[in-house]
Amino acid sequence: MRHEPRSDNRGILDPGRLHRELRFRRHLPAAPLRRYVEHYWFVDWSVTGAFEQRVVPHPAVNLVFRHDDDPGSGSHGGVAGSVEVSGVGQRLFSITLAGAGRVCGVQFRPGGFRPFWRRPVAELTDRRLPLVPAPDPAGVCAGDDDDRRRALDDFLLGWAPEPDPSADEAMRLADEIRTDRGILRVDDLARRHGVSTRRLQRLFLDHVGVGPKWVIRRYRLQEAIERAAAGPPDWAALAADLGYSDQAHLVRDFTAVTGVTPTAYVRSLHAG
C-alpha cells in the first residue's frame, strides 16, 4: 500500500509557476479508500489580478469542492462555493482564479469512481456536473490539511462504494498502462492478458470513461510534457521512446492538446 502521494507534475503546464504562486499539495486518503482514490489535492490562493492554470487532464474523474473567500472577484461570478463531479476531460482544461479561495479535490484512480457512481462513467466524459446532495464546500475546505482530509474521508466512506470486480480490473489495467512504457498499443495489452480489444474497449468506456487507446496516448503525452519542463529534450529520441511513429507525430499530438508546439512550450517556461 502506498504511504506517500504522487510527487510528479504530470499534466500540469508550467508547474513551477503553479508552485510559486499557489499553495498546492497532495495527500493520501484513509487506507480503505486507497483502492479507489489516487490522492486528495488541495489548492489555496490569494492573488492580485488573475491567475490562469492549464492542465492536460488525466484519465480520471475528480470530485471538486471549491470555496471562494472573496466570491465577488472570483471567476464563479459571485457564487461562494460549489461541488462538482468532473469527468475525464479530453481537451486542455483551463481555470482562472482571482481573489482568495480554497479547493479540496479528490482525484479517483482511473476506474475508481465507478463503484461510487454505479453507472457508466462515459456519461461523465467532458462534463462537469453539480453533485447533489453534497456537503457544504466551506466546511469541507475549513481548517488545516488534516481537517480537510478527515472531512473528505468521512464523506467518501459514507458514500459506501459497492465492490466491483470489473472496476478493480479496469484500475489494474490503467495503472499498468501508466507505469509500463512498453505498452504502446491496445493490442499489446490485450495479448498480454489474453482478452479481446473489443472487451478492453467496453471495460474502459464503462469504468474509466474513455477507451484504452486514448489512455495510452494521454499518459505518453503527459510524460513528454513533464520531460520538456525539465529541459529541452531530444525530441526525436523522446518520440521513439514513447512509441510515436516519428517526431512529427509527437509534435502534432503535443500541439493539438496543449495549443503550443513543444519548442514554444519549453521557451515559455524560461521566458523572462
Q: Which tens digit of pLDDT belongs to each residue from 10-42?
A: 999 999 899 999 999 999 999 999 999 999 999
SS3 110: coil
Rounded Cα distance between 200 and 183, Å, is: 14
User: Cis ω on the peptide bond leading into residue 71 (within 30° of 0)?
Assistant: no
The residue-averaged pLDDT of 143-170 equals 97
The reported pLDDT for the residue numbered 110 is 98
Summarize pLDDT for 73-118 with one digit per residue, the tens: 444 444 578 999 999 999 999 999 999 999 999 999 999 999 999 9
Pairing type for strands 93-108 and 62-68 reads antiparallel
pLDDT of residue 69: 86
> What is the pLDDT of the chain when averaged over all its residues?
92
pLDDT in tens, 173-202: 999 999 998 898 999 999 999 999 999 999
Tens-place pLDDT, residues 121-132: 999 999 999 999
CB proximity list for 225: less than 8 A, separation 6 or greater: 10, 11, 13, 56, 254, 258, 265
pLDDT in the model for residue 73: 47
Per-residue pLDDT band at 1 (split at 50, 70, 90):
low
* Residues 6+ away with beta carbon under 8 Å from 59: 88, 110, 174, 208, 209, 210, 214, 215, 218, 219
The Cα 268–Cα 125 span in angstroms is 30
Percent of the chain scored above 70 by pLDDT? 95
Q: Contact 13/225 with Cβ under 8 angstroms?
A: yes
The DSSP 8-state label assigned to residue 70 in this structure reads S
Confidence of residue 45 (pLDDT cuts 50, 70, 90): very high
pLDDT above 90 coverage of the chain, percent? 81
